[in-house]
Structure 1
Amino acid sequence: MEIAKKITLLFAILSAIIISLLSGFVWYFANDFAFEDFYKRLEARVKITAQIKLYEDENNKAYAQMRNQYLERLPAERAFIIEANPKKNNSLKADIVLPKTFVQSINSGKTARYRIENHFYAGKYFKIGNKDYIVIVSANDPFGFRELKDLQKILIIGFFLSVVLSFWVGWRFSNYMLMPLRNIIKSVKRIKAENLHLRLDVKKGSDEMSQLAETFNNMLNRLETAFETQNNFISNASHELRTPLTIISGEVELAIKSNQDPAKQQLALNKIKDEADRLEHILTSLLGLAQSGFNGKNQPWEEVRMDELLWEIKESVHQVHPDSIIDIDLSRLPENEELLTARVNKNLIKLAISNIVSNACKYSNYKPVHVLIENTGNTISVAVTDQGIGIPQTDVQHIFEPFFRASNTNDYKGYGVGLPLSLNIIRLHRGSIAIKSQEGIGTEIKILLPHSGWLFTSS
């Protein structure tokens, strides 16, 4: 069932319940008021009848005259005076046998009331000398009863008309409120892979529809970026893989033709080995990029002291770059060691930081590299600072793109996959990377990771 129909149906049901409750209240109080007024008129006649018929008073004739002259006679009005018999008090017979509750109410000294359809009874106990009497007056109330019947019809007709009206209003209201949602659905249906640049029209305001449209636009921004990154990645990867394969193919042909010249053959074989190593490195990096794009749920996570991990990274970088000088600064360590503990995939995070430290050593021509670790509130900060060639300002915004290399790195061997890989791994760990560089002076890359305590409380 469509949302508009559900809203309309729910609105109609709630309206019907509210209207029925309101009608019930109106009927109850109108019924009570109409009967109460007529009963009081009967009770007044009970007292007058008792005064005229039971009490010996010189004014009785005047009472009777005033009663006949000024007090209207009710339809089917009748008065009954019954001598009370204490031994037979279980029932009273006027024009009908009145119920026991009526008799019990009279015997207790109260004014009793009783009604059958439109015929009303009122009675009261009187003690005159040594005798006990019960005076009962009965009459019909055609006008009040007819008014209640008319009110009942009006309430029933009004109920059904109100339900129909509420259904129509609910239908119009739900369609009006859901129109922005239908527009969003139509706009989203028009967006496909080939026109991801299209965006939804976001109305001014902070209502849920505006938030939904803005959320869709943010999702489309991420999708468009992902598609562009994927296209660029495929294009660059195919180019980077084709280059060493082309060189290997050419060198193999050269080696085959130079079977009489061992020196040329050896040179070609060495070139083939270098390009094969390069191809292996590129494939390994591509595999790392792919793995770092996982959601992390199926990968092993553990608690790792980041300051201890830095010493392992220093040792692994020394194995690749024996001439590197890495200075680990522990001067800002917090007293609480938990503030330096992060829940990470140790192999991946080690690879990410190793890439950054290794680049710092390589592009600084093995000048000292400073690594500072500290806790900044909810995060662990690892800042890697070198004194190398720096990055041109025009290239800084592109260094995290796969296979991109800065314009001043031609003299250095590399493939442009280390930093993108590191960024993917850091994002996988809910962290971020900040970079500050000046050409000819050096570069500082800061890695920010959430420590374990903050990660657990926030999740």
Structure 2
Amino acid sequence: MEIAKKITLLFAILSAIIISLLSGFVWYFSNEFAFEDFYKRLEARVNIAAQLKLYEDDNNSVYAKMRNQYLERLPSEKEYIIEAGKPEIKVDIVLPKSFYNRINAGLMARYRTDNHFYAGKFFRNNKSGYIVVVSANDPVGFRELKDLQKILIIGFFLSVILSFVVGWKFSNYMLMPLRNIIKSVKKIKAENLHLRLDVKKGSDEMSQLAETFNNMLNRLETAFETQNNFISNASHELRTPLTIISGEVELAMKASDDSLKQHKALLKIKDESERLEHILTSLLGLAQSGFNGKNQPREKVRMDELLWEIKDSVNQVHPDSKIEIDFSSLPEDEEQLTLKVNKNLIKLAITNIVSNACKYSDYKPVNIILESKSNILSIAVTDQGIGIPESDVQHIFEPFYRASNTNKFKGYGVGLPLSLNIIRLHRGSIAIKSQEGIGTEIKVVLPIIG
């Protein structure tokens, strides 16, 4: 069943329950109090009948005259004078014992059967005690009660129908944004992943859903583009050393009598094999650091201590490197320097950045600044190297892409994409600022999550 139908049905059922309770409430109290005025009229007639028939008074003639002139005779009105102690004198029906018990207690008693009403009270004169009962019909009040019953029944069914219609309109109105999202999502396919959902202003659930879809589409589009670039570049990068190795093997086979040529060919094969191994290792690192949904093991790491380890690692690979670490902006609370990360991966990411800074600056001083503010930890790596041309900055995080001014430096264009994947895996980001011929600053921003 569709959500709109479920909402409509639930709305109609709840409305029916509420309306039925309200109708029952109205009916109960109407039934209880609808005849209150008629009972009072009967009770007045009980008192007048007792006065006229049980008491000898000079004013009885006046009472009788007033009754005849001002009190209309009720439909089927009857009077009964029952002497106390003679229960054999009956009224037109057998009244319940509770009726007489109330009279014996000195109170005015009431009783109704269908549309016939009774009121009675005990009176005592000089001779004996008497029970005076007056009965009559109330066709007007009974008819009004019947009319109210019909109105409530008709109103109940009309209200349920109306609530069903209103519920249907309401559910359609509330689900219209969701239907629009579904319709828009159905239009998005692999060939048009650049399309996005229209996000309305506000913080309601529909806006959040559309924004979540857009974020997912951003990741999917990035993944598709990365995959396409990865396959294209990887095939090119792998083909080059394999072609060289194949050519050198043929050359060595032809120069079977020339040991010098064979030696040079074998050295070339060795270099290209090492290059191929490095590329494959980098490709494996890229694959393992991607958003594959796997939970990487994490531990708490002091980032200031990790930077010293990174400095030592880079100095071992590049002994001529000059790395300076600036801790002048460190907070007093060491918790602001501690991150829960995968230590090996985060170390690899920052090491790649620092190593590139040393390599592309011809081993001029490289400055690392560690800061921690508002639950955000940042590591800024600044060099005085060749910089990155403005046209190349937007591509440097693409696998195997190398800037146009890096020809004299050995590299494979995998380090920065690998670092970006690792930083994103830790919910962080990388910002870059560079000027050709002056230097580059790469800032890694990571959230401090307890």
Q: Shorter-chain TM-score: which interval?
A: over 0.9
Matched letter for residue 73 of structure 1: R
Question: Counterpart of 2:305 in 1: which secondary structure?
Answer: helix
The reply to whether residue 228 of structure 1 matches residue 221 of structure 2 is no
Residue 276 (1) aligns with residue 273 (2): yes
Structure 1 Cα separation of the partners of residues 170 and 225 of structure 2: 42
C-alpha deviations, 1:98-132, integer Å up to 9, x for none? 22322232233322111112111111222334743
Secondary structure at 1:389's aligned position in 2? coil
Counterpart AA for 1:54: L
Specify which of 166, 170, 176 is matched with residue 169 of structure 1: 166
| CA gap 1:200/1:448 in 2 versus in 1, 3 angstroms | closer
Q: In the alignment, what sits opposite 2:261?
A: 264
Consecutive unaligned residues of structure 2, counting only runs of 5 or more, are none
Give the Cα–Cα distance (whole angstroms) in 1 for the partners of residues 443 and 16 of structure 2.
64
Indicate the residue corresponding to 2:405 in structure 1. 408
192-201 or 107-116, which deviates more: 192-201
Work out which of the residue numbers 114, 121, 126 in structure 2 matches 1:124. Answer: 121
Structure 1: gaps of 5 or more residues: none
Amino acid at match of 2:92: D
**Which residue of the partner structure matches residue 63 of structure 1?**
63
Q: Which residue type is aligned with residue 233 of structure 2?
A: N
Decide whether the 8 Å contact of 1:295 with 1:428 is kept in 2: no
Q: Distance in 2 between matches of 1:423 and 1:401?
A: 10
The more displaced of 127-136 and 270-279 is 127-136
Alpha carbons 1:356, 1:419 under 8 Å: kept: yes
Report the counterpart of residue 25 of structure 1 in structure 2.
Answer: 25
Q: State the one-letter code of the partner of 2:377.
A: I
Q: What residue identity is the alignment partner of 1:108?
A: A
**1:369 maps to what in 2?**
366
User: What is the letter of the counterpart of residue 413 of structure 1?
Assistant: K
Instruction: Answer with 357-366 or 137-146: which moved more.
Output: 137-146
**Partner residue of 1:356 out of 353, 356, 366:** 353
1:341–1:175: structure 2 CA closer, same or farther, 3 Å change rule? closer
SS of 1:98's equivalent in the other structure is: coil
CA contact (8 A) 1:329 1:372 kept: yes
Question: 2:84 is matched by which residue type in structure 1?
Answer: A
Cα distance in 2 for residues equivalent to 1:409 and 1:101: 111
Aligned to 2:184: 187
Pair 1:173–1:138, CA change in 2 (3 A): same
- Following superposition of structure 1 onto structure 2, how do residues 271-310 of structure 1 map, counting pairs within 5 Å? 271-294=268-291, 297-310=294-307
Secondary structure, counterpart of 1:273 in structure 2: helix
Q: What is the alpha-carbon distance in structure 1 between the residues aligned to residue 112 and residue 27 of structure 2?
A: 18
Aligned-partner Cα distance in 2 for 1:192–1:294? 21
Report the Cα offset of residue 424 of structure 1. Answer: 0.8
Aligned to 2:84: 84
Q: Judging changes above 3 Å, is the alpha-carbon distance between structure 1 residues 191 and 411 closer, same or farther for their aligned structure 2 residues?
A: same
> 2:12 maps to what in 1?
12
When residues 425 and 207 of structure 1 are mapped into structure 2, their CA distance, relative to the original with a 3 A threshold, is closer
Deviation at 1:191, TM superposition (A): 1.9
* AA at the equivalent of 2:401: F
| Distance (whole Å) between structure 1 residues aligned to residue 32 and residue 134 of structure 2 | 20
Verify: 1:338 aligned to 2:335, yes or no. yes
Supply the RMSD in Å over aligned alpha carbons: 2.3
Q: 1:339 to 1:30 in 2, by over 3 A?
A: same
Distance change (3 Å), C-alpha of 1:204 and 1:358: closer
CA drift of 1:384 comes to 1.4
**Which amino acid letter does the alignment assign opposite residue 50 of structure 1?**
A
TM-score (normalised: structure 1)? 0.91
Shift of 1:295: 5.4
Name the SS of the counterpart of 1:390 in structure 2: coil
The one-letter code sitting in structure 2 at the alignment partner of 1:404 is: Y
Contact 1:81 1:136 in 2 (8 A): yes
Structure 2 CA distance for aligned equivalents of residues 191 and 312 of structure 1: 47
SS in 1 for 2:34: helix
Cα deviation digits, residues 161-213 of structure 1 (max 9, x gap): 32223223333443344344333323322321122233445566765445544
Residues 335 and 215 (structure 1), Cα distance of their counterparts in 2 relative to 1, 3 Å cut: closer
- Are 1:104 and 2:90 an aligned pair? no
Shift of 1:42: 0.6
**Which one-letter code corresponds to 1:153 in the other structure?**
K
Separation of aligned partners in 2, 1:330 and 1:161: 77
| SS of aligned partner of 2:27 | helix
One-letter amino acid matched to 1:219 = M
CA displacement, residues 29-57 of structure 1 (integer Å, 9 cap, x when unaligned):
43234211211111111111111111211
Question: Higher mean Cα deviation, 140-149 or 171-180?
Answer: 171-180
8 Å CA contact 1:382–1:446 kept in 2: the answer is: yes
Residues 322-367 of structure 1: CA distance to partner in whole angstroms, max 9, x if unpaired?
Answer: 1112222233332222221111111101101110111111111111
| Contact 1:301 1:345 (8 Å CA) reproduced | yes
Partners of 2:60 and 2:141 in 1: CA distance: 31
The question of whether the paired residues in 2 share the 8 Å contact of 1:75 and 1:139 is answered with yes
Residue 178 (1) aligns with residue 175 (2): yes
Partner deviation per Cα, 1:130-165 (whole Å, 9 max, x = no partner): 743321111122222122122212221222232223
Single out whichever of 150-159 and 312-321 deviates more from structure 2.
150-159
1:321 aligns with 2:318: yes
1:48 aligns with 48
Match of 1:153 in 2: 150
Which stretch shows the higher mean deviation, 380-389 or 191-200?
A: 191-200
